[in-house]
Structure 1
Amino acid sequence: MTKPPKLPETERSLPIALMRARENIMGPIRRMLSDTGVTEQQWRVLRVLAESSPMDASHVAERACLLLSSLTRIARGMADKGLIRTAQDPRDRRRQMLEITESGQKMIDDNHAHAAQIVEGFKARLGNEDYEYLLDLLATLAADEPPKR
């Protein structure tokens, strides 16, 4: 009977390395958001809708890395705060459409410079080329199918 391959040490474990990196990356973002009254998940929804609004809720959930059931709850709270509007799609009443409001866009605009400064800090640590390469590698890992080579 063959022995299974040895697991890498935790210092070289991809899942653990990704968790460590995520926590270091999210620290400055959490500090930025601490005074806004917006959660990380709400910020992601605002960012997605600021890029393309209105948008079907399932697409927002996918692009913001949220479960659709979680987005439904989050969107309710965001609508109550006046950050987004929700409406049924007139062509398909089963679909919910989300749209950023002026208040939601103002939240993005008010934090744009700080968010851009955070991104520039990551680029300074890695170098622009490695920063872009890391994003490409992560996109490859996130893809449903490995790229054809």
Structure 2
Amino acid sequence: MLLLQAREKMMERFRPLISARGLTEQQWRIIRALHEHGPVEPRTLSDICTISSSSMAGVLARMEALELVTKERFVKDQRRVLVSMTKLSVELVDAITRDLEAEYEALEQKVGRDVVGRVYAAVDDLLAGLETNDPTRSA
């Protein structure tokens, strides 16, 4: 519950910046993931963004209709698709990133840069510990 409460408090700060540009949180996560990782297959994108595959299919279809992403089939395997950013989504990343950076600065001013740093470090440690100790994941 504590992690969910912290996430929601953070999103209260950032959600308006994303929605002001006409994006949903899921759409922003997808665009940001593509920006950070480059073109990827939908299943990989689902894993990166923590969006279920069934939801991802619908979100990507809507994003393609809005010209936020393109989907291209692999030449050697027509069943596989590669999702990429469009010029519009690149422009949105640039604009939203500036807004988010300003909000992160305001957050650091409010709670302290050291607190933010400790939270990042603790979450990184938590995720790393869960990853290495997860018996369902193969090494």
Whether the TM-score (by the shorter chain) exceeds 0.5 is yes
Per-residue Cα deviation, 1:3-55 (whole angstroms, up to 9, x for no partner): xxxxxxxxxxxxx1111111101111111122111100000000001112211
1:122 to partner: Cα distance: 4.3
Cα distance between partner residues in 2 of 1:91 and 1:122? 48
Aligned length: 132
Cα distance between partner residues in 1 of 2:87 and 2:3? 35
CA change 1:123–1:95 in 2 (3 A) is: farther
Secondary structure at the aligned position of 1:41 is classed as helix
Is 1:70 aligned to residue 55 of structure 2? yes
1:90 to partner: Cα distance: 1.9
1:131 to partner: Cα distance: 3.2
- Matched with 1:21 is 6
Cα distance between partner residues in 1 of 2:106 and 2:127? 21
TM-score normalized with structure 2 length: 0.83
The structure whose residues are more often helix, as a share, is 2
Residues 30-45 of structure 1: matches in 2 within 5 Å?
A: 30-45=15-30
Q: Which amino acid aligns with 1:145?
A: N
TM-score normalized with structure 1 length: 0.78
Q: Which amino acid aligns with 1:27?
A: E
Is 1:57 aligned to residue 57 of structure 2? no
Q: Which amino acid aligns with 2:123?
A: L
Secondary structure at the aligned position of 1:143 is classed as helix
CA contact (8 A) 1:89 1:97 kept: yes
- Matched with 2:123 is 135
Cα distance between partner residues in 1 of 2:44 and 2:88? 22
Cα distance between partner residues in 2 of 1:84 and 1:104? 7
Q: Which amino acid aligns with 2:133?
A: E
Q: Which amino acid aligns with 2:61?
A: R
- Matched with 2:99 is 114
